[in-house]
Homo-oligomer: A and B are copies of this chain.
Amino acid sequence: MSSLYALILAGGSGQRFWPLSRNARPKQLLALFGEETLLEATLRRLDGLVPPKNILILTNADQEAGVRKLAKALPPENIVAEPARRDTAAAIALGVGWVAARDAQATMLVLPADHLIQDSVGFQKTLRTAVSAARQSGELVTIGIQPTWACPGFGYIEMGPRIAVSGDGPAVHDVTRFREKPNPELAEQFLRQGNFRWNAGMFIWTIPAILSALRRHAPELAEFVGALHSGADFKKMLLDAFPRLPRNSIDYAVMEKAGRVLMVESAFDWDDVGSWTAIAKYLPQLEGGNVANTEITGLDAQNNLVFSTQKKRVALLGVTDLIVVETPDALLICNRHEAERIKNIVARIPPELQ
């Protein structure tokens, strides 16, 4: 059986969690839930599935130091900082080339570093099924998350018929097509129809399968991967060729165009925790619909979310629907219904606090 690798994409920016997140400390490097950061949890979920030496983390220069501190179990050369932001297609091509240079028959997982998944057992079960499906079929495989509401903020996967795969893992389906972020009405329709899943940006494939897809749909990326595969100097390719790759998402560059894609039903909880409001349900629930990671005293205070890195006493008087986030050098007071605009306020603050 071919060896298993994992590419962890850990270069996302984290403006939506400002002031806790900063350019150098995005969501995946935060301990939003207890003591463990999302990146550490992502690595922990691979324990026993992918050996550390087979895990590559892609990040960027701002975040590299933070990532290295958390990923000490990996060989240092397995943490790579992209010299420029090129979106997921180029990042994944870099990862495919890195893996191909080590084992041209390998199977690889592509995983975001900034999602919250609590059920590690269900996660590994799902991934093992996906790996089997990728190896047996020779196709690209993705994971489908059962939608819990008609979210217009995610891409969707339209499922086709279930297909037979050996083992007792979760169901595997043909993908009919990928659907971009729908408008709210269409999202409602997807939910009603029942055969739509959220696209969580997790992919599983063999090196031959992704190389073939890249050659067909993204020749520039295929050429880049081919050079790495045939022994070109990684560092040189990273610094010289990588920044010239097109800016594109893997969905648009490859997945939506690929002839056949399989989807494995997720057998685990999943949350992309895309904003402060999304983490409310994981914080201690207090009186009046308030949630907080610290001691609060409320009087006529409802539905507020309070997060203090210093675990300060916070008193709320006559206030409703606020997000209050306090760090050693900044304080955010935000109307809960305006959380989507936090990135707009970050753009207005001095760069050293961004």
Contact = CB atoms under 8 A, between A and B. Distances in A.
B348 A333 contact: no
Contacts of A319: 322, 333-335
B345 A333 contact: no
Contact of A314 (B308, B330, B342): B330
Interface in A271-322: 297, 299-300, 304, 308, 312-319, 322
A289 to B, nearest CB: 15
A185 interface: no
B331 A300 contact: no
A326 interface: yes
A344 interface: yes
A164 interface: no
A338 B313 contact: no
A353 interface: yes
A353 B313 contact: yes
B317 A329 contact: no
A339 to B, nearest CB: 8
Contacts of A337: 318
A338 B297 contact: no
Interface residues of A, number: 36
A30 interface: no
Contacts of A330: 312-315
Interface string A124-166: 0000000000000000000000000000000000000000000
A317 B299 contact: no
A26 interface: no
A349 interface: yes
Nearest to A325: B315
Given A297-B345, A326-B326, A348-B297, A334 B318 contact: yes
A332 interface: yes
A344 B353 CA distance: 35
B300 A317 contact: no
B333 A315 contact: yes
A341 B319 CA distance: 13
A91 interface: no
A93 interface: no
Contact of A345 (B299, B308, B331): B299
Contacts of A322: 319, 333
A324 interface: yes
B332 A315 contact: yes
Contacts of A304: 333
A48 interface: no
Contact of A349 (B297, B326, B329, B332): B297
A167 interface: no
B314 A324 contact: no
Contacts of A341: 299, 317-318
A216 B37 CA distance: 74
A297 B353 CA distance: 12
Interface of A: 18-19, 297, 299-300, 304, 308, 312-319, 322, 324, 326, 329-335, 337-338, 341-342, 344-346, 348-350, 353
17 contacts: A19-B315, A297-B349, A299-B345, A304-B333, A313-B330, A313-B349, A313-B353, A314-B332, A314-B333, A315-B333, A315-B345, A316-B333, A316-B334, A317-B333, A324-B331, A326-B331, A333-B333
